[in-house]
Structure 1
Amino acid sequence: MERDAAALASFAENGQRFQRQIGDEPAAEGVAAILESLTTTSGALPLVRFGDEWVALNPVVFSEETVPTTLLQLVSEGAAGRARVNLSGEPAIVSGVQLPGRDAAYFEAVLIGEVDDTLNSLGLILFGVGTVTTLVAAAFGLWASRRALTPLADIRAAAESLAAGDLKTRLDPPADADLASLSASFNGMAQSLEDRIDRDARFASEVSHELRSPLMTFSASAEVLNNDRYQMSHRSQTALALLTDDIARFTQLVENLLEISRYDVGTAALQAEPVFFAEFVRHAISYSTRPDIALSVSEDGESLVIVADKRRLAQVIANLIDNADKYGGGNIEVEISSEQDVAFLAVQDHGPGVPAAERLVIFDRFSRGSSGGRRGHNTGTGLGLSLVSEHVRLHTGEVWVEDRLDGTPGARMVVALPIRIDPDDDQ
Structure 2
Amino acid sequence: MLAYGLLALGLSGALALVTFNVVSDYLTEQRISSALVETADNAAALHYGLFDAAPPCRPSRDNPAECTTVPASRPAPDVMALLDQLPSTDSAASLLFFHDRWYSAVGRPVDLPADLVNAAKSGTEVNRRIEVAGQQVLAVGVPLTRSGEAFFEWHPLTGLDKTLRMLKITLVVGALVTALLGLAVGRFASTLALRPLAELTQVAAAVARGRLDARLQAENDPDLGGLARSFNQTAAALEQRVVADARFAGDISHELRTPLMTMMNSMQLIQNHRTELPPAVREPVELLGDDLDRFRRLVIDLLEISRDDGGDQGLRETVRIADLVRAAADATAGRSITDVAEDAADLTMEADKRRLERVIANLVENAEDHAGGCKGVTVQAGGRGVIVYVDDAGPGIPEADRERIFERFGRGGGDGQSRGIGLGLAIVARHVEWHHGLIEVTDRPEGGARFIVELPTKSR
TM-score by length of 1: 0.69
TM-fit CA distance, 1:249 = 3.9
TM-fit CA distance, 1:138 = 1.4
What secondary structure is seen at the aligned counterpart in 1 of 2:405?
A: coil
Which of 214, 219, 238 is the aligned partner of 2:260?
Answer: 219
Quickly say closer, same or farther: Cα 1:232–1:71, change in 2 above 3 A: closer
Match of 2:449 in 1: 411
Residue 176 of structure 2 is aligned to residue 135 of structure 1: yes
How do 1:349-368 and structure 2 match up within 5 A? 349-368=392-411
What secondary structure is seen at the aligned counterpart in 2 of 1:139?
A: helix
Match of 1:425 in 2: none
What secondary structure is seen at the aligned counterpart in 1 of 2:105?
A: coil
Q: Is the 8 A contact 2:126 2:141 kept in 1?
A: yes
How do 1:15-414 and structure 2 match up within 5 A? 21=52, 26-29=74-77, 43=91, 45=94, 47=96, 49-50=98-99, 59-61=104-106, 70=115, 73-74=118-119, 78-82=122-126, 91=137, 93-97=139-143, 99=145, 106-113=149-156, 116-151=157-192, 154=195, 155=197, 159=201, 162-163=204-205, 165=208, 167=211, 181=222, 183-184=224-225, 187-188=228-229, 190-216=231-257, 218-219=259-260, 222=263, 249-272=294-317, 274=319, 277-278=322-323, 281-282=326-327, 285-286=330-331, 288=332, 290-291=333-334, 293-298=335-340, 300=342, 306=348, 308-329=351-372, 331-339=373-381, 345-370=388-413, 380-405=420-445, 407=446, 409-414=447-452
TM-fit CA distance, 1:123 = 0.8
Unaligned runs of 5+ in 1: 423-427
What secondary structure is seen at the aligned counterpart in 2 of 1:253?
A: helix
Q: Which amino acid aligns with 1:389?
A: A
TM-score by length of 2: 0.65
What secondary structure is seen at the aligned counterpart in 1 of 2:177?
A: helix
What secondary structure is seen at the aligned counterpart in 2 of 1:312?
A: helix
Unaligned runs of 5+ in 2: 1-28, 56-70
Inter-partner Cα distance in structure 2 for 1:401 and 1:311? 23
Q: Is the 8 A contact 1:46 1:106 kept in 2?
A: no
Quickly say closer, same or farther: Cα 1:314–1:125, change in 2 above 3 A: closer
Quickly say closer, same or farther: Cα 1:304–1:335, change in 2 above 3 A: farther
Inter-partner Cα distance in structure 2 for 1:200 and 1:344? 36
Give the aligned CA root-mean-square deviation in angstroms: 5.1
Q: Which amino acid aligns with 1:328?
A: A
TM-fit CA distance, 1:236 = 9.4
Q: Is the 8 A contact 1:282 1:295 kept in 2?
A: no
Q: Is the 8 A contact 1:61 1:88 kept in 2?
A: no
Inter-partner Cα distance in structure 2 for 1:245 and 1:140? 72
TM-fit CA distance, 1:172 = 7.3
Inter-partner Cα distance in structure 1 for 2:257 and 2:314? 26
TM-fit CA distance, 1:269 = 1.4
What secondary structure is seen at the aligned counterpart in 2 of 1:413?
A: strand
Residue identity (%): 25
Q: Deviations over 1:315-358 (max 9, x none)?
A: 233322321133113x4344354447966654433221222333
Quickly say closer, same or farther: Cα 1:213–1:237, change in 2 above 3 A: farther
